[in-house]
Amino acid sequence: MESLNPWDAALEYFDEAAALMGLDTAIHQILRQPKRSLIVSVPVRLDSGDVNVYTGYRVHHDVTRGPAKGGIRYHPDTTLDDVKALAMAMTWKCAVVNVPYGGAKGGIRVDPHGMSRHEVERMTRRYASEILPFIGPNRDIPAPDLNTDGQIMAWIMDTYSVNVGHSVPGVVTGKPVSIGGSEGRPEATGRGVMYQILSAFKTLGMGVDDVSVAVQGFGKVGSSVAKLLHDQGCRIIAVSDLSGGIHNERGLDPEAVVRHVRECGSVGGFPGADPIANADLLALDVDVLVPAAVEGVINESNVDRVRARLIAEGANGPTTPAADRALNDRKVLIVPDVMANAGGVVVSYFEWVQDLQAFFWSEEEVNRRLRQIMERAFLEVYGMTREKGWTMRQAATVLGVSRVAEAWRVRGLYP
Ligand code: NAD
């Protein structure tokens, strides 16, 4: 049985890239470990008066190219290994799209669904206080991830600002526009995934019209991808969330599904669609499959059922190394997470630049620059696959690692 531990998978992908590129042994050894990992206890007073104590993490994988950057997730499966893997992926991702950041990630091991908004606020502020020495606009800049949003970023920004005595919008990204957020940030990750899919279509000589798409995970990333691809003329035939999925071969209207989720809490029960289990959604005969939920969903046990021609990884780490090998053998084109979902960190970078300059851009400007960066990254990586015979994941990882290694080489090892 293959390991489903995300840290094992992250190391396997990194080691493979290191071997392909002939990475310097010392730099390889250094980058196999995160630079620093913080584990904090997060006691939270519940509305009932009781206290629950949760475990929180913040990991900086590498900061050689700039401040650490990465999301914060609230999820019951969050472990230190999970956060280490995600932080490493952030290091490569920032380098693939060439934004001047290192990689970080954070999270609390908690299921926030049963908690009141007040409880989530108290938990967020306590967690922010515990990681305060780790974060800052020149040090480490958190952003939203699974089960976190702009409001949670606003509470972190406020907690940090109150503690240092003045407003520091640049300490987080993905915050509301009213406090220094960027136009276009909420859908930036999904928009970046769309640009990558459109670039892939171009190279495959495929048109956009009537292309069938299934999206697993209908949250911030998945719902944006579905809406944007639908606007391009694609047929979104299935979407899902934690509670299950909905399916209609003639196509769903993602805007209507978003409204349904807002009213009912999940995609289930959407009128005019049949229910479908998450496992069956992954096995649909579609042109494009977008896993946009959690890690390890395409693995050794179900990869034989996957029939999509193109997989664009909206989620981080959705494909295990064994499944990746099987799909590559079958010539399924995988646009890997470290490139496919980098639109979020690109627009986070734009948000941070706008905050530091206190000068804000229009949404058109944000989207235009995002498109430029995502298309350039795709062409660079695709060019490497052609030249070297590598997969897109191998090429993207080599590109990211090589930029980080070059920064290490010129900075040197202290002392
Ligand atoms: P989110 O919390 O907004 O949405 C997650 C969605 O996935 C929800 O609909 C949830 O119900 C569903 N889900 C959770 N577990 C599931 C499961 N086991 N099976 C099916 N559906 C499940 O989170 P998000 O921000 O959209 O993040 C989704 C993925 O994208 C994560 O892997 C995250 O790390 C990655 N990502 C997010 C961003 C971002 O900017 N938010 C950027 C890059 C990558």
pLDDT, tens digit, 9 for 90 and up, residues 376-408: 999 999 999 999 999 999 999 999 999 999 999
pLDDT at residue number 210: 86
Bridge partners of residue 164, in order along the sequence: none
Whether pLDDT at 4 is above 90 = no
Q: For ligand 1, what atom is nearest to the CA of residue 267?
A: 9
pLDDT in tens, 251-303: 999 999 999 999 999 999 999 999 999 999 999 999 999 999 999 999 999 99
From 270, 271, 272, 289, select the one nearest 280 (Cα to Cα).
289
pLDDT in tens, 160-190: 999 999 999 999 999 999 999 999 999 999 9
What are the pocket residues of ligand 1 if the criterion is a CB atom closer than 6 Å to any ligand atom?
A: 71, 144-147, 189, 216-222, 240-242, 278, 292-294, 314-316, 341, 344
Residue 344: pLDDT above 90? yes
Give the pLDDT band (50/70/90) at residue 338: very high
Mean pLDDT of all residues in the chain?
Answer: 98
Pocket perturbation via mutation, ligand 1, pick of 84, 182, 215, 220 by most ligand atoms within 8 A of CB: 220
Ligand 1 nearest atom to the CA of residue 318, by list position: 32
Q: What is the pLDDT of residues 99-130, one digit of tens each?
A: 999 999 999 999 999 999 999 999 999 999 99
In DSSP terms, which residues pair with 56 in a beta bridge? Answer: 40, 108
Q: Ligand 1 test: best mutation among 110, 189, 270, most atoms within 8 Å of CB?
A: 189
Residue closest via CA to ligand 1's atom 27 equals 146
Mutate-to-test residue for ligand 1 from 294, 299, 350, highest number of ligand atoms within 8 A of CB: 294
Residue with tokens 């995160």: 34
Domains annotated for the chain, with CATH where assigned, are: 32-179 (3.40.50.10860), 188-340 (3.40.50.720)
Please name every residue paired with 68 in a beta bridge, in sequence order, or none if there are none. Answer: 102, 140
How far, in Å, are 188, 230, 282, 389, 398 from residue 386 at the CA level?
Answer: 28, 30, 28, 6, 14
From ligand 1's centre to the CA of 389, what distance in Å?
31
Which ligand 1 atom is nearest residue 217's CA? 7
Grouping H, G, I as helix, E, B as strand and the rest as coil, residue 252 is coil
Residue 150 vs residues 83, 106, 138, 146, 172: alpha-carbon distances, Å: 20, 16, 20, 12, 10
Kindly report the backbone phi and psi dihedral angles of residue 64, in degrees, each rounded to the nearest multiple of 5, phi listed first: -65, -35
Inter-residue contact 40 to 56 (CB < 8 Å)? yes
- Banded model confidence at residue 1, pLDDT cuts 50, 70, 90: confident
pLDDT at 12 over 90: yes
Q: Whose CA is nearest to atom 22 of ligand 1?
A: 242
- Whether residue 415 is preceded by a cis peptide bond, meaning omega within 30 degrees of 0, is yes
Q: How far is the CA of 330 from the centre of ligand 1 (A)?
A: 27
Q: Are 70 and 105 in contact (CB under 8 A)?
A: yes
Active-site entry in 35, 69, 84, 105? 105
Q: Is residue 105 flagged as an active site residue?
A: yes
Of all protein residues, the one whose alpha carbon is nearest to atom 28 of ligand 1 is 293
The answer, yes or no, to whether residue 3 has pLDDT greater than 90, is no
Ligand 1 geometric centre to CA of 173 (Å): 17
Strands 51-62 and 36-45: antiparallel
Residues 101, 68 contacting (CB under 8 angstroms): yes
Determine contact, residues 192/374, Cβ cutoff 8 Å.
Answer: yes
Q: pLDDT grade, residue 26 (50/70/90)? A: very high
| Cα separation, 125 vs 350, whole angstroms | 25
CA of 319 to the centre of ligand 1 (A): 14
Residue nearest to atom 13 of ligand 1 (CA): 242
**pTM more than 0.95:** yes
Cα–Cα separations (whole angstroms), residue 413 to 26, 341, 405, 409: 10, 31, 12, 8
CA 149 to each of CA 68, 71, 179, 220, 236: distance values in angstroms, whole numbers, following the listed order: 19, 10, 14, 9, 25
Q: Whose CA is nearest to atom 30 of ligand 1?
A: 315
Closest by CA position to 287, among listed 223, 343, 333, 232: 333
Instruction: Give me the residues paired with residue 37 across strands.
Output: 59
- Angle, alpha carbons 415-402-102 (nearest 5°): 65
What's the gap in Å between 60 CA and the centre of ligand 1? 21
pLDDT at 8: 97
Nearest residue to 343 via CA among 216, 177, 203, 173: 173
